[in-house]
Amino acid sequence: MASRPLCRKSYESEAVSVYPPFQRITDSVILPKKKMGRHFGDLARIRHIITYSLSPFEQKAFANYFSKGIPNVWRRFSSQVFKVAPPFIVTYVTYTWGNHVHQQGKRKVAADYENDV
């Protein structure tokens, strides 16, 4: 079997590998050792679903944080506050009213003890 070159030159003179991703181990190629077990993200094998992702090194961590992020938080808050706040307000008022009535009920009435000896 004739030995294959490690790389070939393309028209733009960039090095391009000619080996497929899964190849035989030869003397000229050293493949990384396999680790036992699976990583957490590779526990299940899901077929026919294609996912795309961008490397975290290619992303900006705080892109448009102030120009789009804060106005978006305000928009979402203001759209939901009138749906969420009324039950909390009613609950708070009922709770404070109940505590006030309970404290009044625990007091002694001075008129009941005027004639005690």
Instruction: Indicate the pTM of the whole model.
Output: 0.44
Alpha-carbon span 95 to 111, nearest angstrom: 29
- What string of pLDDT tens digits covers the 117 residues of the chain? 455 555 444 444 444 455 455 555 554 555 556 666 667 767 777 788 888 888 878 888 888 889 999 999 999 999 999 999 999 999 999 999 999 999 999 998 888 888 887
Torsion of CA 19, 22, 24, 26, to 10 degrees: 50
Q: What is the pLDDT of residues 3-26, one digit of tens each?
A: 555 544 444 444 445 545 555 555
